Structure 1
């Protein structure tokens, strides 16, 4: 995996994460030219959710207030999932998913929490693998540690936490 770098607004280049949540709120960082367009786009999509994921209390407030229904469209774009696949992951029917997208209202706490967890997971996955496409590819392959494909356990908070734990182990070079 290539060294990841960031360019601060002052122009200084330093090795760093490709995470959208790694930097303090309000401070924007550019990406090195060789970052793939899908990863750049994903980071841009995740930026509005940055403050919600900075701390457990900020996350709780965002969950209780409910995410805007546009978060579903953002999740579809980042994951590349179909509406049917995303409905399965979120444990709702496809018609219900479409109603949420069209309604333009705040999502309930359960959906808001699930979506925020998935945003955080995809951010961590891009950080671990260096690109969105690499992470999405990894999600589709059997994991010995999980005894499943990571994508198949994203329908529960426990499953998302297990995948997050596996990404942390990968970061530290601890693989099964």
Structure 2
């Protein structure tokens, strides 16, 4: 499978979640996000379940319990997860691969002392990184 098809596969995997804009994300989160999305995203993002759970301020056992009890994530948790998914879709499109995007996330920004990945633990921080990606798309240095 070539790289373009791999990117399409990631985008297609999460296309039914309503990730086009923040309003769609809020509506989707309020409808309910299944814990299986958490595991699928951790796999695609090449992130450990522990690291992803930490970003969402959850214990991995909580996610496991919700999956076994067939309970959705809370809307706030679901919204944050959807914002992360949307960010990684955008990052993969911009950088060409999840590996390259992850590499960029873990390098300090020239404007800030923090690495972009350090801002992902809140929905607002995730939005800031999405804004930086949008500036990169348009040729601005970030």
TM-score by length of 2: 0.86
RMSD (CA atoms): 2.1
Paired residues in the alignment total: 142
Secondary structure in 1 aligned to 2:113?
A: coil
Secondary structure in 1 aligned to 2:3?
A: coil
**Cα 1:96/1:110, change in 2 over 3 Å:** same
> Is the aligned partner of 1:121 residue 2:87?
yes
Report the counterpart of residue 20 of structure 2 in structure 1.
Answer: 54
- 5+ unaligned residues in a row in structure 2: which ranges? none
More helix by share: 2
**Cα 1:53/1:40, change in 2 over 3 Å:** closer
Distance in 2 separating the partners of 1:65 and 1:100: 16
Q: How big is the shift at 1:44?
A: 3.3
Distance in 1 separating the partners of 2:109 and 2:75: 30
Distance in 1 separating the partners of 2:92 and 2:121: 20
Higher relative contact order (Cα pairs below 8 Å, separated by 6+ residues): 2
- Matches of residues 59-70 of structure 1 in structure 2 within 5 Å? 59-70=25-36
Secondary structure in 2 aligned to 1:105?
A: coil
> Is the aligned partner of 1:108 residue 2:60?
no
- 5+ unaligned residues in a row in structure 1: which ranges? 1-32
Q: How big is the shift at 1:36?
A: 6.3
Structure number with greater Rg is 1
Q: How big is the shift at 1:40?
A: 4.5
More strand by share: 1
- Matches of residues 152-167 of structure 1 in structure 2 within 5 Å? 152-167=118-133
TM-score by length of 1: 0.71
